[in-house]
Amino acid sequence: MNDLTQTARSVFANDLYATSVTGIVIDSVEPHSAVCSLQLNGSHRNAKGAVMGGVLFTLADFAFAVAANTSDLEADNKSPHLSWVSTSSNIHFLSATKGSRLKATAHCVRQGRTNALYQIDIVDDLDKHIALITTSGTHV
């Protein structure tokens, strides 16, 4: 595991909704990209038995936050100021999952001084493309 991944895990452990409530973990981090995953259980499903759309959105939003803030994590490993936040997201639900694990891969399309655009792809452990998300962010 690289230092950036270790730092991201330490910093984002404070994102209790994503990590403790939802159960998302950071798998790997590189500059301007991140892979996060989630082991599904019954609490992630709606009354129909499908994974809730909010679970997919939370996974994508968390992967964006980790990926977009990698420059902040590199700049100050002791006390990073997370300066990138999402301003809008567009999620396309492509397929229901039959799998037991989801993986979100976030990568930078463009990141300037004040605005960013990221694409996040969510796939399941059966290699099915579950959702495609684009997220715009701003530097605060």
pLDDT of residue 14: 93
pLDDT of residue 106: 98
pLDDT of residue 116: 98
pTM of the model: 0.95
Query: Domain count of the chain?
Result: 1
Residue 11, domain extent? 3-139
The answer, yes or no, to whether residue 1 has pLDDT greater than 60, is yes
Binned at pLDDT 50, 70 and 90, residue 17 comes out as: very high
pLDDT of residue 111: 95
HEC per residue, the chain? CCHHHHHHHHHHCCCHHHHHHHCCEEEEEECCEEEEEEECCHHHECCCCCECHHHHHHHHHHHHHHHHCHHHHHHCCCCCCCCEEEEEEEEEECCCCCCCEEEEEEEEEEECCCEEEEEEEEEECCCCEEEEEEEEEEEC
The answer, yes or no, to whether residue 119 has pLDDT greater than 80, is yes
pLDDT of residue 99: 97
For 43-57, how does the pLDDT look when each residue is reduced to its tens digit (9 = 90+)?
Answer: 999 999 999 999 999
The answer, yes or no, to whether residue 79 has pLDDT greater than 80, is no
pLDDT of residue 120: 99
pLDDT of residue 72: 84
Q: Tell me, what CATH number does 34's domain have?
A: 3.10.129.10
pLDDT of residue 50: 96
